[in-house]
Amino acid sequence: MRHAAFAADSPSKMIVEKIIPPSDYRTKSLAELETILQRVGEADQVAVREFIDAYGNLVWTLARKHTDSPEEAETATQKIFLDIWYYAERYDPTKIDPTVFIFLIARRHLIMRSKLSQINLMPERLLDETVELTN
């Protein structure tokens, strides 16, 4: 259960649900989620909206945990959804659960983003160290 620590009508639970409302993927059946993801792979625009509604909070939460600001998380979330849209046609429901598929794509994107940001910072750090050595 998502908010097991909160009483059913507690103010804390209401605040948490306003900030992070429950995602549809927890209320839809596995067959519905598989169908939506397959339709996304077929470029069905209605399915894309359903998909974002279903998985938006999950992807946002993952992105927010692995970025430094809400703005970076928003950018990462958009790029993750583009990656998912790109790979959706390869989705095979006989091999993997749709939520795991989404999670793996998001994870890969966030790891690559982290590595690229470290590489981009490296020349700056080297320059700072060089300046310190010369002073």
Q: Is 0.75 surpassed by the pTM of this model? A: no
Per-residue pLDDT 10s for the chain (135 aa) are 333 333 444 443 444 344 444 556 777 888 998 999 999 999 999 999 999 989 998 899 999 999 989 999 999 999 999 999 999 999 999 999 999 999 999 999 999 988 887 776 655 555 555 445 555
User: Which domain does 24 fall in, by range?
Assistant: 11-134
Structure confidence at residue 95 (pLDDT) = 93
Instruction: Please measure the distance between the N-terminal and C-terminal CA atoms of the chain and give it in whole angstroms.
Output: 58
Looking at residue 23, its pLDDT comes to 58
Is 4 inside a domain boundary? no
In this structure, how many other beta carbons lie within 10 angstroms of the beta carbon of residue 22? Answer: 12
Question: Which pLDDT belongs to residue 11?
Answer: 44
Query: What CATH number did the domain enclosing 67 receive?
Result: 1.10.1740.10
**Does 119 reside within a domain?**
yes
What six digits make up the tokens of 64? 């927010």
Assess if residue 55 is contained within a domain.
Answer: yes
Which ranges constitute the DSSP H helices of the chain?
A: 11-19, 30-41, 45-65, 70-87, 98-134
